[in-house]
Chain A
Amino acid sequence: MQLTIDHIRVEVKEGVSLMEAAKLIGIAIPSMCYLAGHTSHPSCMVCMVKDLDRDRFIPSCAFPAEEGMNILTHSPEIREFRKEALELLLSDHVGDCEAPCQRSCPAFMDIPRMNRLIAAGQPEKALQVVRKEIALPLILGYICPAPCENACHRSSIDGPVSICLLKRITAQNDSRRNPDLLPSITRSGKKVAIVGSGPAGLSAAFYLLRLGHECIVFDQHPLPGGLLRYKIPDDKLPKEVLDEEIDGIRQMGAVFKMNNHIDKESFRSELLHHFNAVILATGSEEKQIIEDFGLETGEFGIKVSRTNFETPTPGIFACGNMIRKRQMAVRSVAQGKAAALSADHFLKTGKPLGIKHPFNSSFGRLQQEEFEEYLKESVREKRVEPGGGFMGGFTMEEAIREASRCLHCDCRKPSTCKLRHYAGEYGAKQKRFSSPDRKKITKSIQHDFVIYEPEKCIRCGLCVEITQKQGEVIGLTYIGRGFDVRIGVPFSQSIKDALEKTAEVCVEACPTGALAGKKERKFNAL
């Protein structure tokens, strides 16, 4: 039979769904509850397309193609409709994609993973996790105001995990032996000038060196560190600590040109001529200096893209307090990394690289009864106060105890969850359909390999079908009806009994993080 999809004529056999028909001509339609080889019983409605002749929306995953149909799969109206379906799903999806600590960290550091590695007695691996986002963990371990700890779900219950000190201890373990600090094996042959050796400049240098570029850091002061050295008193940040971390970067290959004030003249004659890219991190948002470099000022400081940190002049990037004064050091560090990655991309392709934060589901304050659920994967311990006080920091034994308090708020399927993926793609807002009473999070952890969090479930029923078809004795089932329907285990059995042989298949099929493997995801250091 013949039909028209997005104004293209397509010939299909009888019984083929609209989604499959669209696929034949290369049109991808989003879907979550659909999985090839399973009964398509549409529920998420994200795959809705428009039947133009009958002016109606139909779910393409299950609706059979009919002779002469005229179907539209993409339009602003369809997009808005799918977005609304996603927003309804999100309004009933209680869980964090990234943990609140990570979301509130300006550097977006994977704090829960760091915590788990410390708790497992692997501080070196924890340091790799930290260094993926934070070039100066030791320094920040003293001075960071730790917005992450404010956000920690435990903060409203029995005190947040002592994240800042944990981060510090990962870097206290003889950081020079850490392979992260070695320069990247492949040299790019490109040269980047960094103006300013404060937190932003040091961070930019760290990541550019890692990526194989040559880095020259210019600074008007006698010693590197910028405000870390000249504004922060010794009793807050000991100079040895500062020197130690800067030394690390120097060992990676950074060249520091101190007492070297870059003015209008030297900027043009030296930097623009001898370098492939420039990263400005002077720490000053003063209009005169910026204009001296031939650049423009914006609302707060230097005019720069907030996604790729490039100034209007290609190849010149800016970060840190130049963009806005009195930023948290950790934000400058984060921007240093972002500018470095963008510059790296520029060096390779001629185009800067924008960072886009993925969609993040969140649910607000953790309730006491939910805390009890979270404790299934944590310990009921008070926050550990370091024996040697804040400046002394944790001993390794204290660190392990404290890191074990982490609640594992982060989802185990942050990169494979379809809900997160499409929520990002369609710009869905979780708060649009906010409800006065959200569901309470529960966790089933009895299974050796699987954790089940029903409040993340979108009730597609794929797992119910799989357990039935593959002959589980107990299996999974729908419980209840309507808004309160959930997927659960029959009778008073546990998830361990339900998934005797289909655990892996179910985890794979589950479109969200509701059914997820317990094993830690692979870590990519770069």
Chain B
Amino acid sequence: MKKPEIIEKVGAIVARRGRSVDAVIPILQDIQAAFNYLPEEALQHVAQITEITPSRITGISTFYSQFRYYPAGKHMIRVCTGTACHVKGSALVYDAFRREMKLAENSYTDTLGIFTLEKVSCLGCCTLAPVVKIDEVTYGHVQPENVGEILRDFLTKKKNSGGQQRTGKVLPGVVQGEIRIGLGSCCVASGSSDVKNELERTLAETKINVEVKQVGCVGICNQVPILEIVKPGESLAFYAHIQAEEVREVILSHFKPSGRMNRIKTRFIGMFEEMLVDGFPKSFQKYLTEQRDTPLTQFLGQQINIATENRGEVKPCDIEGYRKAGGLEALKKCLFQMTPQQVVDEIAHSGLRGRGGAGFPTGRKWQMVKNQVTPEKHIICNGDEGDPGAFMDRMLLESYPFRIIEGMLIAGYATGANHGLFYIRAEYPLAVKRIREALAIGEREGMIGKNILGSGFSFEIRIFEGAGAFVCGEETALIASVEGKRGIPSLRPPYPAVKGLHGNPTVINNTETFSLVSWIIRNGAEAFASIGTPGSKGTKVFALAGKVRRGGLIEVPMGFTIRKIVEEIGGGIAGDKHFKAVQIGGPSGGCLPASLADLPVDYEALTEAGAMMGSGGLIVLDEQDCMVDIAHYFLSFTQNQSCGKCIFCRVGTRRMLDLLEKIRNGNGVPEDLESLEQLALSIRKGSMCGLGKTAPNPILSTLRYFRDEYEAHIQGHCPAGKCIPIIEYNITDECIGCTKCAQRCPSEAIPFKPYEVHVINQEKCIKCDICRQVCPVNAVTIH
């Protein structure tokens, strides 16, 4: 890149973003978007033409993991290493990509510069685990043995889709019904946009006149892509796991093409296509609403939808649809019938507590901010959902943007704030897009901006995109980041409610908290408080994933037991395995054994048991999951995400990880368990923010409930067969000599001997698990 070009581009970016210190993150994001990395010349030029110092630029750009100092390949491969993906083998998938791409040590881009490989903490598609995303294409259920295919598939699709236009116009005429299709990230990842394209094409070709409604997350992530057909006189029909090639058949079974010629043509094409796809397995399943005990009714039946009200019915950015479903009523009620104090009291009486994890009473927080007498106050929606294995915020932001905005507006009215900010993590592009769209509509409709709905109350809202730092979910770190600083939490007091963004009183609530507000105002505090337990009111949204039959996004009343979530909503454990534990609360939470499954979902009950409500990730584990490995997994995550300020967190978590690795490698001694426990307790006491204080939870809870597994590792074996350094693959006499394993083994550890029992050379084996996966007779065992 030539220097004048850099100067010109940087100049334009700065002109757009401003020269002040707090523009640093957006400027760097734009520079990376423009150059694919951060060229030093560009950064130096920023320092020259803005108030931002070289020290700040370096400090910021090396703190947030979004930023790169080296150009990446043409396509980014993101291997999700979220919890659900981890328990389903994402580490092996990552290694398989490294082998396939022939990456040298410490290198992440192949020699031709086509692909760059990276790990992401969670793509929020937990029900499709393990998930890999290449640019915008998501591949679910990826296994190490098919990474080669995936790369080839991606490149072919890329080549073929160039310039192709797909139109989806529907001719005017009688509307025969409505087809709903979910377009949340999971749905899209599972192929729903292909289904949608196919649907539009079919409708255009057949001239069938039905309304296609794109709805937000349908929550039933385990059944996606899902097509919902609403036809007058017919009961609601769901098509789960539908594939693009099956769309035509489904549509034609419900609707008639218009015009005789069309009907014939359709039949002809249909016949032709059927011939072509003959023998193609019908993967979809059809469920009707009146059917009892279908997976759908079990999944949805017991949930209470407050944050997810009107789930799957309203198009995310459809303000009319939102209004029809009761949207903005709460805001109007506040603005025209209630005083700010009444609003705060209503929220306080509802018993609503922060859904971000710690459960601080929302009413109390609002009251603190309301009590401050300052001209400027802020409302921040914390959408920096970073827990691996949690995607509630993403789903809410993508699906119910207006509900969250309404919650923020009410908070602003109640506390006397006029500035709102969405803090959304960088990994959620669709959420950012939807909120941006919703804000534009809201401004147009007079619900955001000056003199809202003629009430005299003004409130503006902007978006800040996070740059990749889990710790920024902590409120003081989040504020630091918005102010253009490194995301380092600061000591509280002062609390943000007193001294927050730019030194002003600030309400920071989690996305889910805001999404509950309008319901409370509309239905009254009593209605909300009547749901749940004495200490925990209302509902909680969970991202249910892992080894359950049916994962997805669920909203259950507080007090609901873990067992009911796993067994009834989740349909129990997949395969013939057993329910061993749940990991609840992500890296701040803990692992609870199946024996505690009757524990209710309740802030205090979970904390007492050594877990935490957290933001709502709920990963179900079976006996193939090693608890030492799980503890190690979470600790690696937090250790990697520590901001590096407090010594106990910065070095302490690393030393805990050292100890865990020693144990996992079979080199542990019994005393290590005491050292681990002691250090964990000190880190909890000696860290200043929530990240450090809760980082030891996964260790402490597994030590508490699964100490025997640690002891087994110290004696040199991993009961679940997970910990690579101490396991061994073998082939039993069941082997039929089909040579599949020998052909696929990437390290040539299995000699090719047709019709003989195969043998694994332990010296060469890299424990990639491929042989076990390809074996048709389950002859490969792990010891």
Using A44-B647, A477-B59, A478-B58 as known contacts, list a sample of 16 further A-B pairs with CB atoms less than 8 Å apart, ordered by residue number in A: A43-B650, A57-B685, A59-B491, A84-B679, A84-B686, A88-B651, A92-B651, A435-B655, A468-B55, A478-B644, A480-B644, A481-B469, A482-B639, A482-B644, A483-B653, A491-B58
* CB <8 Å contact, A477 and B54: yes
Do residues A91 and B651 form an inter-chain contact, with CB atoms below 8 A? yes
Closest-by-CB residue of A relative to B486 is: A478
Whether the Cβ atoms of B688 and A59 lie closer than 8 Å is yes
List the A side residues contacting B43 at CB < 8 Å: 491
Residue of B53, B55, B493, B652 most packed against chain A (CB within 10 A): B55
Chain A hits for B645, CB < 8 A: 41-43, 459
B674, CB-defined interface residue at 8 Å: no
| B54 contact from A43, A92, A474, A482, Cβ within 8 A | A474
Shortest distance between the CB of B421 and any CB in chain A (Å): 23
Given the interface pairs A88-B652, A435-B655, A480-B62, the reply to whether A491 lies near B686 with Cβ below 8 Å is: no
Residues of A within 8 A of B366 (CB): none
**Which of chain A's residues has its CB closest to B644's CB?**
A485
Asked if B646 and A43 sit within 8 Å, CB to CB, the answer is yes
Q: With a CB–CB cut-off of 8 A, which chain B residues contact A481?
A: 62-63, 65, 469, 486, 642-644
Is A26 located at the chain interface by the 8 A CB criterion? no
Q: Which residues of A contact B654 (CB under 8 A)?
A: 92, 435, 483
Chain B residues lying within 8 Å of A482, measured Cβ to Cβ, are 639-644, 650
Q: Are B651 and A48 in contact (CB under 8 A)?
A: no
* Bound-state Cα–Cα, A488 to B61, Å: 13
* Cross-chain contact B655 with A88 (CB below 8 angstroms): yes
Whether B57 sits at the interface, judged by CB under 8 Å, is yes
Smallest beta-carbon distance A472→chain B, Å: 8
Q: B428 interface residue, CB < 8 Å from A?
A: no
Find chain A residues with CB under 8 A from B66 CB.
none
What are 17 of the A-B contact pairs (CB < 8 Å)?
A42-B688, A43-B646, A63-B491, A81-B682, A89-B651, A92-B651, A92-B654, A435-B655, A436-B662, A464-B59, A468-B53, A473-B54, A481-B469, A481-B642, A483-B639, A491-B43, A491-B54
Q: How many angstroms between the C-alpha atoms of A433 and B678 in the bound complex?
A: 12
- Taking a contact as CB atoms under 8 Å apart, the answer to whether B54 and A485 are in contact is no
Chain A residue nearest in CB terms to B640: A482
Alpha-carbon distance A45/B649, docked complex (angstroms): 11
Please determine whether B658 and A435 come into contact, CB atoms closer than 8 angstroms. Answer: yes
User: Whose C-beta in chain B lies nearest to the C-beta of A492?
Assistant: B40
Q: Is B44 on the interface with A (CB-CB < 8 A)?
A: yes
User: Which residues of chain A are near B688, meaning CB under 8 Å?
Assistant: 42, 59
A490 at the interface (CB under 8 A from B): yes
Say yes or no for B490: interface residue by CB 8 A criterion.
yes
Asked if A475 is at the interface of the complex by the 8 Å CB criterion, the answer is: yes
Interface size on B, residues (CB 8 A): 43
Nearest CB in chain B to that of A64: its residue: B493
Against A, the Cβ 8 Å flags (1 = close, 0 = not) of B673-685 are 0000001001001
> In the complex, A54 Cα to B604 Cα: how many Å?
18
Residue B740 is within 8 A (CB to CB) of chain A in the complex: no
B434 within 8 A of A: no
With a CB–CB cut-off of 8 A, which chain A residues contact B44?
A: 491
Judge whether A1 is part of the interface by a CB distance below 8 angstroms. no
> From residue A147, how far is it (CB to closest CB) to chain B in Å?
31
In the complex, which of the residues A45, A63, A478 contacts B59, with contact meaning CB atoms closer than 8 Å? Answer: A478
Find chain A residues with CB under 8 A from B63 CB.
478, 480-481
Q: Are A56 and B685 in contact (CB under 8 A)?
A: yes
**Least CB distance, B14 to chain A, in whole angstroms:** 18
Is residue B37 within 8 Å, beta carbon to beta carbon, of the partner chain? no
Residue in B54, B65, B641, B682 whose CB lies within 8 Å of A84: B682
Interface contact A483-B56, CB-CB below 8 Å: no
Contact A85 B686 (CB under 8 A): yes
Residue B642 contacts which of A44, A483, A488, A492 (CB distance < 8 angstroms)?
A483
Query: Which of chain A's residues have a CB closer than 8 A to the CB of B655?
Result: 88, 91, 433, 435
In the complex, how many angstroms separate the beta carbon of B166 from the nearest chain A beta carbon? 43
Q: When each residue 455-487 of chain A gets 1 if its CB lies under 8 Å from chain B and 0 otherwise, what string results?
A: 000110000100110000111111111111100
Residues of A that sit less than 8 Å from B by CB: 41-45, 48, 56-57, 59, 62-64, 81, 84-85, 88-89, 91-92, 433, 435-436, 458-459, 464, 467-468, 473-485, 488, 490-493
Closest B residue, CB atoms, query A497? B54
**CA A81 to CA B644, docked complex, whole Å:** 19
B37 CB, min distance to chain A CBs, angstroms: 14
User: Within 8 Å CB of A43, what residues of B?
Assistant: 645-647, 650
Measured CB to CB, the closest approach of chain A to B149, in angstroms, equals 36
Closest to B487 in A: A481
The B interface, classified by DSSP as helix, strand, loop or mixed, is helix
A468 closest partner in B (C-beta): B55
Q: Is the CB of A491 within 8 A of B685?
A: no
Residue of A with least CB distance to B678? A84
B648 within 8 A of A: yes
CA–CA, A236 and B160, complex, Å: 88
Would B658 and A477 count as touching, CB distance under 8 A? Answer: no
Contact check, A490 vs B644: say whether CB atoms are below 8 A apart: no
Closest Cβ of chain B to A432, distance in Å, is 9
Q: Is the CB of B647 within 8 A of A45?
A: yes
Closest 3 CB pairs of A and B: A485-B644, A490-B54, A477-B55
Q: Which of A88, A435, A483 contacts B648 (CB 8 A)?
A: A88
Best-buried of B65, B486, B640, B685 by chain A (most CB within 10 Å): B685
Q: Please indicate the chain B residues that have their CB under 8 angstroms from the CB of A91 in the complex.
A: 651, 655
Q: Using an 8 Å CB-CB cutoff, how does the interface string of B605-630 with A read, 1 for contact, 0 for none?
A: 00000000000000000000000000
Count chain A CB atoms within 10 A of each CB in B640, B645, B688 and give the residue with the most: B645
A433 to chain B: closest residue by CB = B655
Interchain nearest-CB distance for A354 vs B (Å): 32
Q: How far is the CA of A89 from the CA of B646 in the complex (A)?
A: 10
Quick one: given A62-B491, A64-B493, are A477 and B651 in contact (CB under 8 Å)?
Answer: no
Q: Are A490 and B57 in contact (CB under 8 A)?
A: yes
Complex Cα distance A43/B649, Å?
10
The residues of B that contact A56 with a CB separation of less than 8 Å are 685
Give the docked Cα–Cα distance between A474 and B56 (Å): 10
Residues of A within 8 A of B662 (CB): 436
Closest to A43 in B: B645
Which residue of chain B has the shortest Cβ distance to A488 in the bound complex? B58
Question: Which B residues lie within 8 Å of A62 (CB)?
Answer: 491
CA distance A483 to B644 in the complex (A): 6
- B55 and A42 form a contact (CB under 8 A): no
- The smallest beta-carbon distance between B505 and chain A, in angstroms, is 18
Q: Which residue on chain A has the smallest CB distance to residue B488? A: A41
B651–A474 contact, CB under 8 A?
A: no
Across the interface, which residues of B come within 8 angstroms of A476, CB to CB? 55
Cα distance A63–B679 in the bound complex, in angstroms:
24
Distance, CA A356 to CA B57, complexed state (A): 47
Q: Which residues of A contact B59 (CB under 8 A)?
A: 464, 477-479
Q: Which residue in B65, B490, B642, B647 is a CB contact (below 8 Å) of A88?
A: B647
Instruction: Find chain B residues with CB under 8 A from A464 CB.
Output: 55, 59
Report the nearest B residue to A434, measured CB to CB.
Answer: B658
* Alpha-carbon separation in the docked complex, A91 to B651 (Å): 8
* A42 and B54 within 8 A (CB): no
A459 near B56 (CB under 8 angstroms)? Answer: no
Q: Which residues of B contact A57 (CB under 8 A)?
A: 685-686
Q: Separation in Å of the A214 CB from the closest CB of chain B?
A: 54
Within 8 A of A (CB), among B682-701: 682, 685-686, 688
Smallest Cβ-Cβ distance to B642: which chain A residue: A482
B628 to chain A, nearest CB (A): 17
B646 adjacent to A42 (CB under 8 Å) = yes
A41 to B688, CA, bound (A): 11
Q: A81-B682, A81-B686 are in contact. Are A45 and B490 (CB under 8 A)?
A: no
Q: Bound state CA distance, A402 and B639, in angstroms?
A: 46
In whole angstroms, what is the CA distance A121 to B61 when docked?
48
Q: Which residues on B sit within 8 Å (CB–CB) of A435?
A: 654-655, 658
Min Cβ gap B756→A in Å is 41
CB-based nearest B residue for A474: B54
A85 contact set on B, CB distance < 8 A: 647-648, 686
Chain A residues, Cβ within 8 Å of B54: 473-475, 477, 490-491, 493
Cα of A81 to Cα of B647 in the assembled complex, Å: 12
